[in-house]
């Protein structure tokens, strides 16, 4: 069974990771987020749950303004053939989230490490990063270093790439 938002916060607390959370109406798109979030500082994420032709699932966590080119991304991240969106059932089963609530924090629910994490290098330019806490009804701010510590605590090593369309480059594992 997927962890809840409260379980996520308890997990973060056990890791010594501090966050702040702002409640808001449900947000389903980057445009809605930009309009309703107010002045929450830091980088804001755009998250894509994708699969390749062999069924490998990728969680792509990008800076919200990155223009990700799905037609060429598979080459950059080492996917087998073109990418398509994972199904709602796959998102629920692997990340414990509903469509519209995909988030980096969903990796807390991927105990079998079935999801490959792809992290936008542009997002790492921000000292603070904002993600939904397993629901699109809030935004949680976390320090960049603490986000990386969260990934490590969940057993996920990000492949760091430039996700801006036309700038896809070398994949760096950290």
Per-residue pLDDT reduced to its tens digit, 66-116 = 988 989 999 999 999 999 999 999 999 999 999 889 999 999 999 999 999
Query: Tokens at residue 61, please?
Result: 């966590």
- The structure's pTM equals 0.89
Structural domain for 57, as ranges: 5-173
Tell me: the pLDDT tens digits for 132-162? 999 988 999 999 999 999 999 999 999 999 9
Whole-angstrom CA distances from 65 to 16, 34, 46, 124, 171 are 30, 10, 8, 13, 20
d(CA 52, CA 104): 19
pLDDT, average across residues 115-132: 96
Residues of the chain with pLDDT > 90, as a percent, come to 72
Q: How many domains does the chain have?
A: 1
CATH number of the domain to which 99 belongs: 3.90.960.10
d(CA 57, CA 17): 27
pLDDT, position 30: 65
Residue 6 banded pLDDT, cuts 50, 70, 90: very high
Query: Tokens at residue 25, please?
Result: 């109406």
């Amino acid at each position: 069974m997927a962890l809840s938002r409260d379980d996520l916060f308890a997990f973060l607390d056990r890791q010594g990771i501090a966050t702040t959370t702002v409640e808001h109406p449900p947000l389903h798109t980057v445009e809605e987020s930009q309009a309703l979030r107010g002045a929450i500082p830091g980088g804001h994420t755009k998250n894509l749950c994708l699969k390749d032709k062999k069924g490998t699932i990728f969680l792509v966590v990008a800076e919200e303004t990155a223009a990700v080119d799905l037609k060429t991304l598979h080459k950059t991240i080492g996917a087998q053939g073109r990418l398509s969106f994972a199904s709602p059932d796959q998102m629920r089963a692997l990340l414990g989230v509903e469509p519209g609530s995909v988030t980096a924090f969903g990796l807390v629910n991927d105990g079998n490490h079935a999801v490959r994490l792809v992290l936008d290098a542009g997002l790492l330019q921000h000292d603070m990063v904002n993600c939904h806490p397993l629901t699109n009804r809030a935004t949680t701010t976390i320090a960049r270093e603490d986000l990386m510590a969260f990934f490590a605590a969940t057993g996920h090593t990000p492949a760091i790439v430039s996700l801006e369309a036309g700038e896809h480059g070398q994949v760096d594992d950290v």
